Structures are given as structure tokens and as C-alpha cells.
Amino acid sequence: MEDALAGLSNLLNAILDISRIDAGVVVPHMKNTDISEMVQRLGAEYVNRCRHKNLKLRCHCKSDLHAITDSVQLERIIRNLIENAIFYTERGTLLFSARGSGDRLRINVLDTGIGIPESKLTNIFEEFYQVKNPTRNHKQGLGLGLAIVKRLARLIGAEIQVRSREGRGSLFTVWLPASAASSILSIYSEGGDPIAGRHIMLIEDSPEVRIGFQLLLESWNCTVSCAESGEEALKIGKEEGWRFDAIIADDRLGAGMSGTQTAIQIATHAGRSIPTLIVTGDTAPERIAEIHASGFEIMHKPVLPDELSRRIAHLLR
């Protein structure tokens, strides 16, 4: 049961990633990124994984390599490529490197794994395609990693190239525009616990989920007003003078107003912007785009407590 749940969870998260990218919800944050630091850090992280599988990991990178890119999405791309290389390589070496090449920068992930037939190279970036998994065994992966890589590369303006020989291995290259080194200062102040003592409006039509959210929020010393529909939330809001620090709402609330529509109405009555988190299990790109267009934060079910607390803290700050 645990294996099945893990497989389904991984599948859902990957599909949600693709849906969010296709819906235009994932917005790149381009900045000067230290590629040398990223390569060295990821190399140190994966060396034990390779050693456990009796693989040799070689990592090469010159210092002071920088690129204008989205560091978070680039790291997701590289991690997917390294994970694939480890998975499909039973013996030999993995080479992970970065170097400048004219006005561009290239990041290479080279393996001595099973390789890819030349006739299949155009298929590997398609959803659910795997070179050697005809029985669709989820323990052998989902076939979504490279589909996500392709979309993320397009999102951040990177180029992905692949060369491979069946039975000999594969070389994946990520091309990025290079940039001169520059210092980037990021300041983040905790400012104490931003959640404790806050008044949260919770809108959820499922009794079990609503109770779970309520108990979790109360364990963080929040005051929680609960509603199972948009109409009930508006009634409670009027009674309490619209004095909410934040709103957490399921988007689909049965036959009445959606969570997004309800949150907009509450903010209108309150005469001010209220930090709002829309929680949904909907994966339709057009639905996700609609929520994103409202300006509210979006979070997909199932919701993990640690991630929920971080998102609420971010909203309240």
C-alpha cells in the first residue's frame, strides 16, 4: 500500500507540474546565477548515491561561471537529468560538468548507461514515454521527468541537446546564455512566528478535510472560522466584521460560488486585500490559469503541513 501510494503521489505531482507549466502559472524569475556553486553543490550531493550503486561520479567546473537564468527551475532540470543518468546506468561513470563556450554556457550530464536508440531520440521528451519499461512498472519511473525538463527549458529560454548510442550511454547538454559575475544580495527576515495568533477564514466543503485543516491551524495557535460553502463564508464574514488575516479556501465548493469567487467577495466587503491561499485538486490547465489570474496563491492537494505553514507564513509577511 505504501509503494502504491508513493507511486500515485509521484505521478500526481508530476502531472500537476506539467499542468502548471502549460497553464502559464510557473513564471520564471531570471537573475544572475552562480552556476559553479550549483554544479559543485549537486555533485557533492549525488556522490553518495552513485557510490551506493557502484558508479563513479566525476564533477568538473571552472570557478566564476554565471548565467542569467531561473536558478530554481534550472536546478530542477539538472536534477532530473542526473536522476535519469543514475537510474539507467548499472556500471561505469557519470560525468557532470559545466564550462563556457563563447557567449553561452553549457552544462553536461554524461552517463555510460543503456543509451537510447537513434530512432527513439525524438520520443523521450513525450509524456509517459520510457525506453525500456513496456509493463509500465512505476518503480522504474513514470516517464514524465524529461517531459518536465523540456517544458522548463523552454520556460527559462534554455536549449536541451541529447546525443546517445544504444548500449554505450547518453550525453544531455543544457545551453544557457552566459553573464558576467555580479553579487546578488538576498535579505530575508524571519520577524518571529507570523502565523500564531492570526484569524483564518477556512472554506472547505469536505467535513473530514475541513476538520483536518482546522485542527492543524489551531495547533499553530490560530483562530479559525470555518465554512462549508461560499455563501456560509460570506454570512460568517459579515457577522465577524470581515476581520480575517488570511483566507484558505477549496476552489470547488459544490453548486454555489467557488472558493476563488468567495475570497474575492470577502475582500470586496472588507475593503482591503486579504492574503488568500486557494487549495485545489483540479489539474485542468484552464482552471489553474483562472485561479492564478485572480492573484491568489494556489496549492494542490494533498497538502503537507510543513509546506502549508511555509506558504501561509509567506502570505502573511
Classify residue 20: in a domain, yes or no: yes
Q: Are residues 215 and 159 in the same domain?
A: no
Buried b or exposed e, range 125-164, using 16+ CB within 10 angstroms: beeeebbeeeeeeeeebbbbbbbbbbbbbebbebebebeb
Determine the structural domain holding residue 290 and report its residue range: 199-316
Q: Are residues 6 and 87 in the same domain?
A: yes
What is the grid cell recorded at 121? 531520440
- Would you say 106 and 173 are in contact if contact means Cβ atoms under 8 Å apart? yes
Q: With helix as H, strand as E and coil as C, how does 219-280 read? A: HCCCEEEEECCHHHHHHHHHHCCCCCCEEEEECCCCCCCCHHHHHHHHHHHHCCCCCEEEEE
pTM metric for this prediction: 0.52
Q: Are residues 41 and 158 in the same domain?
A: yes
Q: Are residues 280 and 211 in the same domain?
A: yes
Helix or strand run (H / E) with residue 160: strand 159-165
Tell me the β-bridge partners of 173: 108, 161
Classify residue 96: in a domain, yes or no: yes
Q: Are residues 50 and 175 in the same domain?
A: yes
- Would you say 210 and 218 are in contact if contact means Cβ atoms under 8 Å apart? no
Classify residue 70: in a domain, yes or no: yes
Classify residue 192: in a domain, yes or no: no
- End-to-end C-alpha distance for the chain, whole angstroms: 39
Where residue 304 falls (left for φ over 0; alpha for ψ -120 to 50; beta otherwise) is: beta
Output the domain CATH number for residue 286. 3.40.50.2300
Classify residue 275: in a domain, yes or no: yes
> Which of 65, 97, 24 is closest to 177 using CA atoms?
65
Listed residues 179, 214, 236: the one ending a domain: 179
Q: Are residues 136 and 212 in the same domain?
A: no
Q: Are residues 41 and 162 in the same domain?
A: yes
Q: Are residues 111 and 204 in the same domain?
A: no
Classify residue 186: in a domain, yes or no: no
Query: pLDDT truncated to tens, each residue of the chain (317 aa)?
Result: 665 565 556 556 656 666 677 666 677 788 888 999 999 999 988 998 899 999 999 998 888 888 888 888 898 889 889 988 998 899 999 999 999 877 789 999 999 998 888 877 776 767 555 555 444 444 444 456 788 888 888 888 899 999 988 888 999 999 998 764 433 222 223 345 688 889 999 999 988 889 989 998 998 899 999 999 999 999 999 999 999 999 999 998 888 899 999 999 999 999 999 999 999 887 777 778 888 888 898 888 777 787 788 888 888 87
Instruction: Give the CA distances from residue 144 to residues 123, 125, 213, 221, 264, in Å, rounded to whole numbers and listed in that order.
Output: 12, 8, 31, 40, 35
Q: Are residues 44 and 156 in the same domain?
A: yes
Phi first, then psi, for residue 122 (nearest 5°) are -80, -10
Listed residues 146, 179, 212: the one ending a domain: 179
Q: Are residues 290 and 242 in the same domain?
A: yes
Q: Are residues 221 and 301 in the same domain?
A: yes
Query: Residue 210: helix, strand or coil by DSSP?
Result: helix
Classify residue 300: in a domain, yes or no: yes
CA-CA distance, 6 to 36, in Å (whole number)? 34
- Total number of domains constituting the chain: 2
Q: Are residues 163 and 242 in the same domain?
A: no
Output the domain CATH number for residue 7. 3.30.565.10
